[in-house]
Chain A
Amino acid sequence: MKNVKNKKTLWMILTGLIIGAIAVLLVANGNPKNMGFCIACFIRDIAGGVGMHQAAIVQYIRPEIIGLVLGALIMSVAGKEFKAQGGSSPVTRFVLGFFVMVGALMFLGCPLRMVLRIAGGDLNAVVGLVGFVVGILAGIFCLNQGFSLRRTYEQSPLEGGMISAINVALLVLVVAAPPVIYFSTEGPGSMRAPLILALVAGLVVGALCQKTRLCMVGGIRDAVLFKDFYLLWGFIAIIVAALIGNLITGNFTLGFAGQPVAHTDGVWNALGMVLVGFASVLLGGCPLRQLILAGSGNSDSAVTVLGLFVGAAFCHNFKLAASAEGPTPNGKIAVIVGLVVVAVIAFVNIQKQKKNS
């Protein structure tokens, strides 16, 4: 058993190293700095790409996201692990996904980008990490009190595959490029690696994440709850690989000010990630993990991804998203509202234990 565990851990470290290296490769080929991957930013870009919001600098149907979902689909089908299931409080999950995006766009990145920002020397992301851990601890407290979104049920394969079909449709759209979709001509949305490279990168990372269960939230959750550091190794390996890659490519700058697609307001960087960490523990995984589970047939995760997508559109339509200039007043209100909503969801869903069950 110990050998199996060591082998598993080696696979996880290798996966983290590959993801970190691919992230650096994507930046070297056109993606914004410290944004080889960012699930929140890229889903936001997709929302803009199909015209759900009109922030002209962040509109592009990102092939990385499509690749992640389809990579997980292919790997789960190949490994006979595709399992269509769902029905565990889907609307609540939608709302939690919505507020994960509100928190992520306050910080300007999902947990994966937080890790990549740290590897680029962005100390604001270290502040974000502190908030992220606090949010995870809040979520763990609720889990220990009996929090549950109730069980999943088996569903039809069509239901399990629907989010993958949507991603295939998005791929057709971005390849065909009809005039109804949007492509940023300036700003982060205009900075993009070649389509085929981004798609393959997503496919590889999606497949690896399905196999290893890599999860940014799960790493810290399992380390705290069970002293199990398996997932955390992936987290650390991404930082190591991206750090080395950034040093080689000259993209490492240590400091707070002037970091790419980031702001220096520490309080709101931390609070944004408190919201992301808290809601993600209640959901059972970070945004990356939600994409992977969605591709593997979990329609609850698919609904969460739709929550992220709609949340992103609202963030730009309602001016909730922060920018390099810092957070907006509306964004601050939305993060506070999000923390209250998530706390209420957590409290209301604490189940009482039956005796002798």
Chain B
Amino acid sequence: MTTLGHLIPLFPLLGAIACCFVGYFKCGAFARLAGPLCVVSVAASFVVTALLAVGGAEGGATAWTWMQVGGLDLSVRWFFDPLTLIMLCVVTGVGSIIAWYALGYMEHDDGYARFFGAVALFIFAMTTLVMADNLVLLFVGWEGVGVCSYLLIGHYFQKDVAVAAAKKAFVVNRVGDFCLLLGMFLLFQEYGTLSLHGTEGQPGVLSQASSLLAASGGEGSDDGVHTWIAMLLMLGAFGKSAQFPLFVWLPDAMAGPTPVSALVHAATMVTSGVYLVVRMLPVFQLSPCALVTIAVIGGFTALLGATIALCSNDLKGVFAYSTVSQLGYMFVGVGAVSAGGAIQHLYTHAFFKALLFLTAGSVMHALAGKLDIRTMSGLRHRLPVTCWLMFVGCLALAGFPLISAGFWSKDLILADVMAVGLNDWRGYGTLYLIVAWSALLTALLTAFYTFRVWFTVFMGQEKFEMGDEHHHAHDDHAADEPADLAHTHDAPDEMPWLPMNLPLVVLALGSTVLGMAIWWGAAEPFDKQFHYGNIAAVESGMTHAGEDTHAGTGRLSDQSEHAYPPGKKLHHADFLGGDVHTTMLYVSGAIALIGIAGAAFFHWLARPARDTAAKLLTGPIAVLRGKWYVDEIYDAVIVKPLHLGAQLLYVLDALVVEGATRVVGLTPKFLGGGIRPVQTGRMQAYGLSMALGVALLALVVLIATTLGSAGS
């Protein structure tokens, strides 16, 4: 069964090679094959994934030995478990839908084959990442998606902005990778292996960590090395998943084509950090403070991203910062030992954020590259399908109660972190509570900024400006359609159903409660193993709550300790007069409705009021528009000094180091200068010195023999 898994990365890889091959023939219809090839290869790997998922595949499959030196034994080995299968479904499923959409979006692009080649390669790397059984192979996928992201962000390579953004993304990711590498080294030193699940007779990292955790009674280890490992891995995850302080690359990454933003920078690649932490959860649980750090930084990033999204006027920019913010939520989830919440949100987020990006792409496509929402208004008549598709996406992002998928997944995270805070797990209750409340605040902001965009763009008086991007569609379509009907420069029009709008419908369905229903139906094994399993491992570390309930004075007033079986205790507590999960449904639902209503008021019904409010708040808005000036600060504190330092070093290299070696070289020259006059160039002088030399030698010999004979 699991051997079938070899095909999953293989198909996209072959697809990428084929795209490369057809792209080599630049001219003619041959290159047009690249798109379908890419879609088919990704879809094929989705089919294999589905087969495995239906069969409930579990276990490893080794392809070949990759490196084996000394105690280090790394194989190209895949491992399948519910987590991997969920990730694979998201990656290949959403991947094929987005690639399908891109067939239309990229149709007239010069780099058609290059784009699809990179997308197929990306899917290859991403599947490698989630299927890898050892951290180094995971790192192959990790960096592989990084380089594909680099290529795809820089797709429009003639634009300096895109090139700079691509470079920035790669370098910032590398900072995270630097930490991840060190984390791996430390892990190897500590556990003697880098395999996650191990093979027979050799336990992997995870099982070793789990038994250490069990030995510590769920309290974690007081050995500092475990904290070091967790912190280093965490920073690696933060780099890829765009968390503070390494989030700065993601908004810039929107310089790439929109399907890329949807696939790479919303649905899949950026979630790999979350995947890593969930995958390595036992290692993180071993450290007493790692998870709370993750939760705090996740919560902070969520708030930071939401505040910036609040004032951004760039259609894709809003969604980019919202991605940063939603990833923050996922980290809050993992930080609260809620693997279920994090992965569930990852799953729904993949659908609705991809939907939002692609609909934004449709708007952008229709408006010939215009992205400033201040220039847009009332487009619902021009782009009806896009309008309502985006509406579905916005509902999910805002967490509209009951019918949207985002509501359920976000709610789970909120409730879990609140419960962990209330239970005062490992004594970090206050921090978790702060995170929980700030996450609620973020939920309000999220609902507001999401619908701010939607109401601004689609409601109200119709208004638009066409961008100056070359409308590729024009020339080709003019041939087969009457020019006055479609694709003229002066008015936006709806995307065709095939290949663009139909894939979006699939995504839209996934963003509603339907997507959630599939999860509830299928994710049972995952929940059992990763959600409850991981909680159960640390529950005994929940000393405070345990004592409290035992004494009968705890917050779980009407429920005894036995009411919750192992694996459920940590995430249940009394909150506002009911179980936290129940009350949180009401609270977060209400918050979402308030946010949406606020957005409707300010950005649809009473737009003059918005302008008045904006005048009152110019200062804060300027700061938020400046994105808290994080980029500027990094530039001034890190980039500029480093560059200056590099230039100084180079000057030093040219002057001092080379000068020093030159001085060493000059020494013999000066020494030689001392006896140079001896060489007069006159034969007589040479003759004389020779004669004198011989005479001297003779004298020495004479004296020596005289003395010698006298001595004997």
Physical interaction between A and B = no
* A residues with CB within 8 A of B: none
